[in-house]
Amino acid sequence: MRGLKKAFILALCVTAVLGLGGCSSIKSEKRIVRISHAQSETHPEHLGLLKFKEYVEENLGDKYEVQIFPNEILGSAQKAIELTQTGAIDFVVAGTANLETFADIYEVFSMPYLFTSEKAYHEVMGDTDYMNQVYASTDEAGFRVLTWYNAGTRSFYAKKPIHTPEDLKGLKIRVQQSPASVNMVKAFGAAASPMSFGEVYTAIQQGVIDGAENNELALTNNKHGEVAKYYSYNKHQMVPDMLIGNLKFLNGLSSEEREVFEQAALLSTEVEMEEWDKQVEEAKDIAQNQMGVEFIDVDVQAFKDKVSNVQQDMLDDNPDIQELYDHIQKINEKYAKEEE
């Protein structure tokens, strides 16, 4: 599989180097638009991307054909972002944790307990005008976010039950390849092991790590529930996924075409979010009743207390996140008041 992946990526790069219009096909008149993502073909993101494809081809089908590559076929998120940066592929879906090394502002999403409600999270992310300022932060790196996808709430899951933060002590927990996530897991008292998403199943199975942290779909769609039987609802993060496009490609579109791609992106988010809500409920049912995963309700406040300094430490270390952080706090407060 690895060899195959490498050969495919090499072929993409050779095409790019030869100046054959990035990845455009030689035979076809149409420009092939390639999108990479890390999930399976039934995942909400894949279904959202099918909508993206449908809308682009309905409106610009004489010029563009959209091809979607799931399951990290083109490489892990980090690799696929690099391919998008160079224009070897055109789009990639990746979590903000993977963007931290390109623009400091994305660190904010790795803060534990940043959003105090799902409503606040959705309002912040759904405010396209505000978020577009954030999305422009990677222009220098050669790519730009077009839209976000809901990736739920992340919690710990492991081979052993975790009831309190003390149970994390001594456990080796996989995190995304993000310095802020490493620090967060350390603050919880566990050892952090950064690795790509595709490696997690085998690492848990072979005992290289004791567990990981993610949303419920990781248990079913990515089958982690086969090897980790305890999922604890400590709910430490809501980390969005992003649809990222090569900036040269986006800037090379006419304004009408750009509008179509942007509209396609927004529609893909609508589909993804509807599917997300459905699939999370299904995932809980499948994990519990078919895979034998035990869901554990914990005292979330105890987990919050354990990492209470992390937000301020991150703000002190990285002033670039302050403005977005303050903006998020205002929205948090708005929903907190509504609930009073």
The closest residue (CB) to ligand GCU is 197
Q: Contact between 173 and ligand GCU (CB under 6 A)?
A: no
Tracing tokens 């396609």 back to the chain, one arrives at 264
Of 110, 193, 214, 268, the one binding ligand GCU by CB under 6 A: 214
Q: Which is nearer to ligand GCU, 58 or 270 (CB)?
A: 270
d(CA 179, CA 35): 26
Q: Contact between 218 and ligand GCU (CB under 6 A)?
A: yes
Q: Which is nearer to ligand GCU, 151 or 265 (CB)?
A: 151
Q: Contact between 151 and ligand GCU (CB under 6 A)?
A: yes
Of 110, 138, 150, 176, the one binding ligand GCU by CB under 6 A: 176
| Region at 147 (left for phi over 0; alpha for psi -120 to 50; beta for the rest) | beta
Q: Contact between 38 and ligand GCU (CB under 6 A)?
A: yes
- The count of other CB atoms within 10 Å of the CB of residue 115 is 24
Tracing tokens 């049912």 back to the chain, one arrives at 285
d(CA 37, CA 267): 17
Q: Which is nearer to ligand GCU, 31 or 43 (CB)?
A: 43
User: Residues in contact with ligand GCU, total (CB under 6 A)?
Assistant: 10
> How far apart are CB 275 and ligand GCU at their closest, in Å?
13
Residue 325 Cα distances to 320, 321, 329, angstroms: 9, 6, 6
Q: Which is nearer to ligand GCU, 48 or 95 (CB)?
A: 95
Contact in structure between 74 and 83 (CB atoms under 8 Å): yes
Find the binding residues for ligand GCU in span 227-256 (CB under 6 A): 241
Polymer length of the chain: 340
Q: Contact between 95 and ligand GCU (CB under 6 A)?
A: yes
> How far apart are CB 266 and ligand GCU at their closest, in Å?
19
Q: Contact between 162 and ligand GCU (CB under 6 A)?
A: no
- The count of other CB atoms within 10 Å of the CB of residue 191 is 15
- Tokens describing residue 313: 């430490």
Q: What is the DSSP letter of 147?
A: E
- Residue 106 amino acid letter: Y
Tracing tokens 């800037």 back to the chain, one arrives at 251
Q: Contact between 84 and ligand GCU (CB under 6 A)?
A: no
Of 33, 35, 66, 77, the one binding ligand GCU by CB under 6 A: 77
Q: Which is nearer to ligand GCU, 45 or 57 (CB)?
A: 45
d(CA 120, CA 195): 30
Interacting residue ranges for ligand GCU, rule: CB under 6 A? 38, 77, 94-95, 151, 176, 197, 214, 218, 241
